[in-house]
């Protein structure tokens, strides 16, 4: 099999003005964000020192449980410990001290510059950026009439009570003997 060369151009990094970093967590307990910046007075080839912008941000309240393990997270410019202008490199350091989760990562990572809209991730993200009045209007938009739902729930409750009153105490006829099941009597699907 012959190898075919592909033309490519290698260019210097383009400095970014980072406004927001968004991602979906996947079992990462702690996150540290470090950056390198291009200084206007320094040549492009000069290696700048790494600066820590976020130090050990807790993404999961308890690394051994699933709470927060798959949440969407937004880190805004004002939350960073350092200036986010002229960023040439970003390093994300993920930590998961629990042996319960063998794999952990960040998914759907997006780095947004000033003037760019944030991605809308899930219903709670949409609501967090609305005023209280807009949140109420959004929640009630498209919902059925509460009086209709109330009457239907009452009908369901009445049917449940009728079924409960007519329920017999007879056995359903399960295949267990002394709390055990015979494997030959069970169906496979």
Q: Write the pLDDT tens digit of every residue in 163-179.
A: 777 776 555 555 556 66
Do 46 and 114 meet the contact criterion of CB atoms below 8 Å apart?
no
| Cross-strand pairs, 92 | 33
- Is the Cα dihedral 120, 109, 55, 44 positive or negative? negative
What tens digit of pLDDT does each residue of 99-150 get?
Answer: 988 899 999 988 887 765 554 444 444 444 455 555 556 556 667 777 888 8
CA–CA gap between residue 3 and residue 1 (Å, rounded): 7
Q: Tell if the pTM clears 0.75, that is, is over it.
A: no
Q: List phi, psi (to 5°) of 69.
A: -70, -25
Coil, strand, or helix at residue 147? helix
């Amino acid at each position: 099999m012959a190898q075919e060369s592909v033309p490519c151009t290698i260019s210097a990094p383009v400095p970014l003005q980072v406004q927001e970093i968004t991602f979906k967590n996947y079992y990462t307990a702690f996150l540290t964000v470090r950056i390198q910046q291009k200084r206007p007075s320094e040549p492009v080839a000069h290696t700048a020192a790494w600066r820590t912008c976020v130090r050990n941000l807790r993404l999961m309240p308890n690394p051994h449980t699933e709470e927060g393990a798959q949440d969407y997270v937004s880190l805004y410019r004002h939350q960073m410990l350092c200036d986010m202008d002229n960023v040439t490199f970003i390093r994300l350091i993920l930590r998961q001290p629990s042996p319960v989760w063998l794999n952990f990562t960040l998914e759907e990572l997006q780095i947004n510059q000033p003037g760019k809209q944030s991605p809308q991730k899930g219903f709670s993200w949409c609501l967090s950026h609305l005023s209280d009045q807009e949140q109420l209007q959004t929640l009630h938009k498209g919902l059925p009439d509460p009086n209709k739902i109330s009457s239907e729930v009452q009908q369901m409750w009445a049917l449940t009570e009728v079924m409960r009153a007519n329920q017999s105490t007879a056995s359903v006829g399960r295949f267990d003997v002394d709390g055990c099941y015979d494997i030959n009597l069970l169906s496979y699907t």
